[in-house]
């Protein structure tokens, strides 16, 4: 099997099957998980059968030319039906969903039966590299392909409409984004159906659009599979990824606050017994922000007063100039504290303040970075930085 075949879109639903299958083992009675695993399994088998080496191996093993295509298309219909059942399970009450699921299962069974009958009756007697180009002009093969594309279009439209309709009602942003991705993926899948129908119609009229059909299929199939797979799994891995990103950012901010925190705590040690350092990254960051604020309050009498017009101006700590100014004021205060020369300041230590932990930590981190560049050695140098 070549590297291009190993990069088949089948790897995407296979990942989805393994990812959601783990959840199904924990909750085997969850109907939604059953349907999504069935959909991923069917799509994985369908796309795997279309890999050239697998395609030829199945045909050779069963002794029927292009039987792998019939199997792949049948599993594709089962995938669409499973996705329909999943969306109905998630959006309707159990009794209403069950009735509509039975109708769609019946339609899928009829479609597969018609396709099998047409395939067996069609004069498909030899292996070819391009099934559609060789056989599409035969009425039975054309009817077979139209039956497949028609049900595929119906299932994609059904799933896409349901996803688009319920996306604004989603209770979490990840579920809302996932439903939007599913809707877009189904729309791109419909482009594949339109392209396939146009190709079949052109073939009946004697026009060869095989190059266009191959290019459109190569673009729409992987894109649609990617979006639908990601959309159905995003509500599970999205929050986990967001938590990991928040934890990584908290650790980064925690380290950036180190120079400012160490200098402040050395000058104004905390009162009372030292507390154990929290374990979580966000808790540790919160602890460090509190340490910095407590130490800033301790050195406030040695700081220069904040200009009344600067508190709400763009020169606050949220900007580069504001961070440099605050860093210089802190450095000057530490130098005056060592020299025992208070200024009598009673204003807040810093001009800006945010109630959001990450925003406040990011603001203080900018001050800490500027502070580490100053490194004043005496009061005169620190005062020059302030001025």
What confidence score (pLDDT) does residue 91 get?
A: 87
Q: What is the C-alpha to C-alpha distance for residues 105 and 308, in angstroms, rounded to an integer?
A: 72
Name the pLDDT band for 164 (thresholds 50, 70, 90).
Answer: very high
3-state secondary structure of 80: helix
Contacts of 209 (CB under 8 A, 6+ apart): 198, 199, 202, 203
Contacts of 299 (CB under 8 A, 6+ apart): 264, 267, 268, 330, 333, 334, 337, 349
What confidence score (pLDDT) does residue 271 get?
A: 56
Name the pLDDT band for 126 (thresholds 50, 70, 90).
Answer: confident
Instruction: Find tokens 């005496």 and name the residue.
Output: 378
Q: What is the C-alpha to C-alpha distance for residues 225 and 83, in angstroms, rounded to an integer?
A: 12
Contact yes or no for 294/261 (Cβ under 8 A)? no
Give the mean pLDDT of 93-108.
93
Q: Where are the domains of the chain?
A: 3-244, 257-386
Structure tokens belonging to residue 54? 């697998």
What confidence score (pLDDT) does residue 258 get?
A: 92
**Cα distances (angstroms) measured from residue 309 to each of 210, 343, 345, 363:** 71, 20, 17, 20
Give the mean pLDDT of 216-224.
88
- The predicted-structure confidence for 322-356, as pLDDT tens digits, reads as follows 888 888 888 888 888 888 888 887 777 776 777 88
Residue among 368, 360, 373, 352 at smallest CA distance from 250: 360
Question: The whole model's pTM is what?
Answer: 0.77
Give 304's DSSP letter.
P
Q: What is the C-alpha to C-alpha distance for residues 305 and 115, in angstroms, rounded to an integer?
A: 83
343-379 exposure pattern, b = at least 16 Cβ within 10 A, e = fewer: eebeeebbbbeeeeeeebbbbbbbbbbbbeebebeeb
Name the pLDDT band for 306 (thresholds 50, 70, 90).
Answer: low
3-state secondary structure of 310: coil
Q: What is the C-alpha to C-alpha distance for residues 108 and 83, in angstroms, rounded to an integer?
A: 12
Query: Which of 3-7, 208-212, 232-236 is predicted with the least confidence, judged by mean pLDDT?
Result: 3-7
Query: Which of 33-37, 108-112, 379-383 is predicted with the least confidence, judged by mean pLDDT?
Result: 379-383
Structure tokens belonging to residue 247? 């934890």
Structure tokens belonging to residue 299? 């050195």
Structure tokens belonging to residue 188? 């791109």
Q: Is the pLDDT of residue 27 over 80?
A: yes
Q: Provide the CA 58 distance to its chain's centre, in angstroms.
A: 35
φ, ψ for residue 312, nearest 5 deg:
-105, 15
Q: What is the C-alpha to C-alpha distance for residues 57 and 76, in angstroms, rounded to an integer?
A: 19
Q: What is the C-alpha to C-alpha distance for residues 62 and 57, in angstroms, rounded to an integer?
A: 9
- The predicted-structure confidence for 68-80, as pLDDT tens digits, reads as follows 999 999 999 999 9
Mean pLDDT of the chain: 85
What confidence score (pLDDT) does residue 79 get?
A: 95
On the 0-12 / 13-18 / 19+ scale of CB atoms within 10 A, 273 is: exposed
**Cα distances (angstroms) measured from residue 369 to each of 286, 364, 373:** 18, 9, 7
Give the mean pLDDT of 21-49.
93
Q: Is the pLDDT of residue 368 over 60?
A: yes
How far from each other are the two terminal CA atoms of the chain, in whole angstroms? Answer: 71
Percent of the residues in the chain that have a pLDDT greater than 90, as a whole number: 48
Give the mean pLDDT of 75-89.
95
What confidence score (pLDDT) does residue 305 get?
A: 75
For the ranges 174-183, 258-267, 319-328, the one whose mean pLDDT is highest:
174-183
Helical residues (DSSP H) of the chain, grouped into ranges: 3-6, 11-26, 31-49, 52-62, 67-91, 94-121, 131-135, 139-166, 173-204, 210-256, 258-267, 281-299, 320-339, 357-374, 379-386
3-state secondary structure of 280: coil
CATH dotted code for 3-244: 1.20.1070
Computed from CA positions of residues 318, 324, 327, 333, in that sequence, does the dihedral angle turn out positive or negative? negative
Name the pLDDT band for 161 (thresholds 50, 70, 90).
Answer: very high
Give the mean pLDDT of 315-328.
71
For the ranges 34-43, 130-139, 373-382, the one whose mean pLDDT is highest:
34-43
């Amino acid at each position: 099997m070549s590297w291009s075949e190993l990069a088949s879109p089948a790897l995407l639903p296979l990942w989805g099957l393994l990812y959601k299958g783990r959840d199904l083992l924990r909750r085997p009675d969850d109907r939604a998980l059953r349907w999504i695993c069935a959909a991923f399994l069917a799509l994985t088998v369908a796309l795997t059968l279309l890999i050239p080496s697998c395609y030829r191996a199945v045909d050779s093993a069963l002794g029927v030319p292009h039987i792998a295509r019939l199997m792949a298309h049948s599993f594709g219909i089962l995938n669409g039906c499973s996705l329909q059942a999943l969306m109905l399970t998630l959006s309707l009450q159990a009794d209403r969903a069950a009735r509509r699921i039975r109708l769609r299962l019946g339609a899928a069974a009829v479609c597969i039966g018609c396709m099998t009958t047409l395939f067996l009756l069609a004069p498909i007697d030899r292996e070819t590299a391009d099934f559609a180009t060789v056989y599409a002009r035969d009425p039975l093969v054309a009817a077979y392909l139209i039956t497949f594309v028609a049900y595929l279009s119906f299932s994609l439209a059904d799933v896409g409409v349901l996803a688009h309709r319920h996306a604004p009602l989603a209770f979490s942003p990840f579920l809302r984004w996932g439903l939007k991705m599913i809707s877009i993926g189904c729309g791109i899948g419909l482009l594949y159906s339109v392209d396939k129908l146009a190709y079949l119609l052109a073939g009946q009229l004697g026009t060869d659009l095989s190059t266009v059909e191959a290019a459109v299929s190569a673009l729409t199939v992987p894109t649609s599979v990617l979006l639908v797979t990601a959309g159905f799994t995003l509500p599970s891995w999205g929050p986990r990824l967001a938590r990991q990103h928040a934890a990584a950012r908290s650790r980064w901010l925690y380290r950036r606050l180190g120079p400012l925190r160490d200098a402040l705590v050395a000058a104004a040690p905390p009162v009372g017994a030292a507390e154990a350092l929290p374990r979580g990254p966000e808790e540790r960051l919160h602890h460090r922000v509190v340490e910095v604020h407590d130490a800033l309050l301790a050195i406030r009498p040695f700081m220069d007063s904040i200009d009344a017009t600067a508190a709400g101006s763009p020169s606050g700590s949220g900007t580069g100039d504001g961070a440099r100014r605050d860093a210089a004021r802190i450095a000057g205060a530490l130098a005056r504290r060592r020299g025992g020369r208070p200024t009598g300041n009673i204003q807040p230590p810093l001009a800006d303040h945010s109630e959001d932990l990450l925003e406040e930590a990011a603001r203080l981190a900018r001050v800490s970075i500027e502070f580490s560049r100053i490194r004043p050695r005496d009061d005169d140098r620190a005062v020059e930085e302030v001025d």
